[in-house]
Chain A
Amino acid sequence: MNAQTIALSRFGLGARPDEALPADPKAWLHAQLGGFDPRPAAIAAAPTRQEVATQLAEYFEELRTMGGKAARQAPASVLARPQPASMTTMPGQPMMDQSVAGQPKSPQAADVTQTVQQFIRKASRDYYLTSVAARTDAALTTPAPFVERLVHFWANHFAVSADKLQVIGLVGLLEFEAIRPHVLGKFEDMLVAVEQHPAMLLYLDQAQSVGPDSRLGAIAASRGRKVGLNENLGREIMELHTLGVRSGYTQADVTEFARALTGWTVDGIGRGPAARAMGGGGAPGAFHFAEAIHQPGARTILGKKYDQPGVEQARAVLHDLATSPATARHIATKLARHFAADDPPPALVDRLSTAFLKSGGDLPAVYRVLIDAPEVWNPANTKFRTPWDWSVAALRAVGSKQLQGQAIVGLMNQLGQPVWKPGSPAGYDDIAASWAGPDALVRRVEAADRIASRAAGLVDPRQIATKVLPDMSQATSLALARAESPGQGLALLLASPEFLRR
């Protein structure tokens, strides 16, 4: 791999034959840090947070009122019907409404519930498809592919997964609203934006976490109802988003952090009495600090006392986490793995970590270390492209610009990396062992064949190869020359060993 290919593929998202090759690869990368549009047309056209959240609010309201009616009408004989699991948690209605939502329903009500669920499922899926299309469009047409790759990196670092009904429509917005605006900013700002985003608050159950000694928590307890502190978000912030696993924090630290985080919730999604008690009333989907469920008192986390009032308490914890040496090391390791090699070169990790700490988590300062790192420019250090990486590179190589969300979703499902759906808050793995398997390889060749057959005739694979794989091996060059049709030649190019790597 020459420097141009490394700049275009390892830093960028793959060459586009209709764009000029960067004359000075390093300068090209540095320049991208100077100007990045977080909201290009493709992203601006995606559904808004308010739109998605309003839809969700209506869904929960439908369920809530229906549940109440059904409960009143339910004959005694059907009271034993089990409660559908998806009905049990309603964000923003942590406890007062449990009496309503928790009621068994009549068969008729169950039918209606199903209809309502089908409706929200469809609406969420539409939002999801539109968001996937917007992300892909941005990746195919961006003038700053290095920064765009970093957006994908951070979105995977702060992963939410479109498994839960409530978050399917919101997963794309986390990337568009919390990652993109901060990709060239401070790590801390990105961290706060992510942890206050409705997708994260709902995905990691923070919206339902109640301080036992908070005002509403105490009322619930006095009525004999068990109310919950939910440690999910607190734990994942420490383990995945900042410090990293086994970096020295304890279960007690997690619990204390979870207490500090109580009250961090989403506005305008619940409408029951509890939601009213929690205040808010701003734009649906906005971050809302609900004092009524915040656990009062000072917290001690990693040996430091936090006695700030209200929302400031967890905010102060986030500040310390964002600037901790453990976090710097965790982020540096992940960046080095992404850009240099599956086994991150220790010297590069050290330099990235130092830059992170010295700059106070200024991300461009860290990226500049990457650009100047000989480890990243070492042609021997290749990375096996993940399905997303490969698909974006393939679509860029054949000159695609606008695709239907469904087409991308289908492709990514086929290749085993559905967009924003890693199935866990840890995100997708970033090592070859996770992606280079026998079946995965065949699927990739099948996808190459399909992409090629769509583009065949419009493009000449030999010409594309000169831009996309300027230093391809003799074997690949020979295979292209001997292909029996342009379509086959293109498929071989996309499936070639060089193209599978970056």
Chain B
Amino acid sequence: MIDRRLFLGSAAAGAALLAAPGIALAKAATDRRFVFIIQRGAADGLSTVAPVGDPAFAGIRGPLLEDAQAGAKLGSFFTLHPAMTETAKLYGAGEALFVHAVASPYRDRSHFDGQNVLETGATGAYRLKDGWMNRLLGLLPQGEAKAIAVSPTVPVALRGPHEVSSYAPSALPTPTDDLLARVGDLYAHDPQLSPLWNEAMATRKLTSDLSAGGGQNGAATGALAARLLAGENGDRIAFIETNGWDTHSGQRGRLNAQLKGLDALVGALKTGLGADWSNTLVLVATEFGRTAAINGTGGTDHGTASVAMLLGGAVKGGRVIGDWPGLAPAALYENRDLKPTTDLDVLAANALAQHYGLDLARTYATLFPEGQRPARIDGLIRTA
């Protein structure tokens, strides 16, 4: 009996050899890299890729308008946050694609549940134990199924039957400034702990996370991930943690620092990957977006749709895609959030199927087994 998969594989390789001698399709496939950067805490898509062309935007985002207007133009309707200079260059080189009004199937506003859905690929929280990135490994040839988590432990997205490893970057200090700040709040009214904590914080030289060091921490993480991924024996799939996106207050400064860190991370990843960058797909996504309107403390609260980014030399970029729902009050989800028009799972399945030359239906059914039939989104990835 002929193994159908093997038969298809060798037929495809044969066809490629005939069509273009010197370019072995099979080899090209094994060079593919995929990186998922998770933005934990719900990143504000409307600040990252700002719809300055929407007539309602200026009205609801007044205090943050200056940044939106200062950013690089992404066509005539959107601008990219001005902190993201490296990403703007990628856009210019056709290596950055933004998909707006994206959301996972999760519709409530809990970080825990939202991240669980984002990582398991289920339609609800705590329904699946394994992560969709682990299931992706099962779809890939053995040589390609090497995954690493750039985090102290294996995150839910990578958990499952396929073996993965994790590597904690020493440049990512724990705990984050954000956690320390929250602990400080928690101790504020405790007569014993509060003075102790204040003293500790006063004497402690604050080490920090993605948002600090003017992007240095992000760059260090990106460079580390690139080292793990680069070269023939490098890992092929990586998961990178980023925290600190929960900007309920003082969003302008905090998000600026966060995005600067993310931008530096992506820049260092590209530099470090060298030639491998051309075969790389980076997906940047968050568990949900934030409210369209700004709240009373210069921040935004938990929302629904956000922006997802596809970055890398493998991406057919230089575009913003998605079905823009508009920001007029009636167009908002539950009268407050950007309405989701593209399913993040469908986007990921399409991008990965194209990136690895896999069948879309099978990819989707494997990664997101609880979803309905996926819509096709063609042309996300450059054809070899």
Contacts and interface: CB of A to CB of B under 8 A. Distances in A.
B175 A436 contact: no
Nearest to A500: B193
Contacts of A476: 186
A252 B101 CA distance: 86
Contacts of B186: 475-476, 479, 492, 495-497
Contact of A492 (B156, B182, B246): B182
Given A441-B200, A457-B159, A495-B183, A484 B175 contact: no
B119 interface: yes
Contacts of A448: 175
Contacts of B185: 475, 479
Interface string B164-199: 000000000011001110110111011011001101
Contacts of B182: 479, 482-483, 488, 492
A457 B119 contact: yes
B358 to A, nearest CB: 26
Interface string B123-158: 000100000000000000000000000011101100
B41 A454 contact: no
Contacts of A461: 112
Contacts of A500: 193
B127 to A, nearest CB: 13
Given A453-B152, A453-B174, A460-B126, A491 B200 contact: no
Nearest to B246: A484
Given A438-B200, A486-B116, A497 B187 contact: yes
B244 interface: yes
B9 to A, nearest CB: 35
A445 B175 contact: yes
Interface string A462-501: 1000000000000110010011111011011001110010
A442 B248 CA distance: 25
Contacts of A495: 183, 186
B40 interface: yes
Contacts of A454: 152-153
Contacts of B193: 436, 441, 497, 500
Chain A residues touching B, majority SS: helix
A17 to B, nearest CB: 14
In which size bucket is the chain B interface?
Answer: 35 or more
Contacts of A148: none
Interface string A366-403: 00000000000000000010000000000000000000
Contact of B112 (A449, A453, A475, A489): A489
Given A441-B193, A442-B204, A449-B174, A485 B155 contact: no
B196 A488 contact: no
B196 A441 contact: yes
A432 interface: yes
A446 interface: yes
B179 A436 contact: no
A485 B187 CA distance: 20
Nearest to B129: A458
Given A453-B153, A479-B182, A486-B116, A441 B41 contact: no
B167 to A, nearest CB: 14
B111 A485 contact: yes
B126 A484 contact: no
Contact of A491 (B159, B175, B192): B175
A160 B368 CA distance: 57
B217 interface: no
A485 B114 CA distance: 9
Nearest to B287: A485
A436 B192 contact: yes
A484 B200 CA distance: 24
B245 to A, nearest CB: 7
Contacts of A462: 112
Interface string B12-35: 000000000000000000000000
A439 interface: yes
B197 A438 contact: yes
Nearest to A483: B111
A325 B296 CA distance: 66
A441 B197 CA distance: 7
Contact of B40 (A437, A484, A491): A484
Contacts of A441: 193, 196-197, 200
Interface centre among A446, A454, A497 (most CB of B within 10 A): A497
Contacts of A129: none
Interface centre among B42, B119, B200, B204 (most CB of A within 10 A): B200
A484 B192 contact: no
A411 interface: no
B243 interface: yes
A15 interface: no
B192 A492 contact: no
A460 to B, nearest CB: 6
Interface of B: 40-42, 111-112, 115-116, 119, 126, 151-153, 155-156, 159, 174-175, 178-180, 182-183, 185-187, 189-190, 192-193, 196-197, 199-200, 203-204, 243-246, 248
Q: Which 5 A-B pairs have the closest CB atoms?
A: A438-B200, A484-B41, A484-B246, A449-B175, A457-B156
12 contacts: A436-B193, A438-B203, A441-B200, A445-B180, A445-B183, A446-B175, A450-B152, A462-B112, A479-B182, A486-B111, A488-B243, A500-B193
Given A453-B153, A482-B182, A485-B40, 12 more contacts: A450-B152, A453-B151, A453-B152, A460-B126, A475-B189, A479-B185, A483-B111, A484-B41, A484-B111, A486-B111, A489-B112, A497-B186
